[in-house]
Amino acid sequence: MKKTVMLVDDSLFMRNVLRGIVQSQGFTVVAEAGSGIEAMKKLSQHRPDIILLDIILPDANGLDLLQSLVAASPHVAVVICSSLGQESVIKKALDGGAKAFIQKPFTPEKIAEALDRLEA
């Protein structure tokens, strides 16, 4: 059975793009959040298997939020999707518990590959 996904990005356009890609791969999007506070609320309500997380959010730094999400729900696999692609940012994300880092702009294939690796 395909896993469930929560999308966390302040851009509705980006959430729509990601939702289309995720659903085309057979995953179910169970929640979407445009802020860190909303993401933490929806995490406990929906218990997704995977979270696609942006770093730049209106009320939170995604790298700090990553640690909160992993602490609150250790089973969740977080994939960072961000335009911030410096090596130091990628290293901090992966050291902080992210399972993958996808730099924007991305192709649908990059998202599909990351999701496939998480299912393997």
Where do the structural domains in the chain lie, given as residue ranges?
A: 4-109
Distances (CA, A) of 20 to 16, 25, 48: 6, 9, 17
**pLDDT recorded at residue 54:** 97
pLDDT at 113 over 90: yes
Q: What is the DSSP letter of 86?
A: -
**pLDDT recorded at residue 119:** 79
Q: 120 versus 71: which is more confidently predicted?
A: 71
34-75 pLDDT per residue, tens: 999 999 999 999 999 999 999 999 999 999 999 999 999 999
The C-alpha angle with vertex 22 and arms to 20 and 25, in degrees rounded to 5, equals: 105
Q: Considering the domain 4-109 in this protein, what is its CATH number?
A: 3.40.50.2300
Residue 62: burial class (beta carbons within 10 Å; 0-12, 13-18, 19+): buried
87-106 pLDDT per residue, tens: 999 999 999 999 999 999 99
Report the C-alpha gap between 19 and 45 in whole angstroms: 19
Residue 99: burial class (beta carbons within 10 Å; 0-12, 13-18, 19+): middle
State pTM to two decimals.
0.95
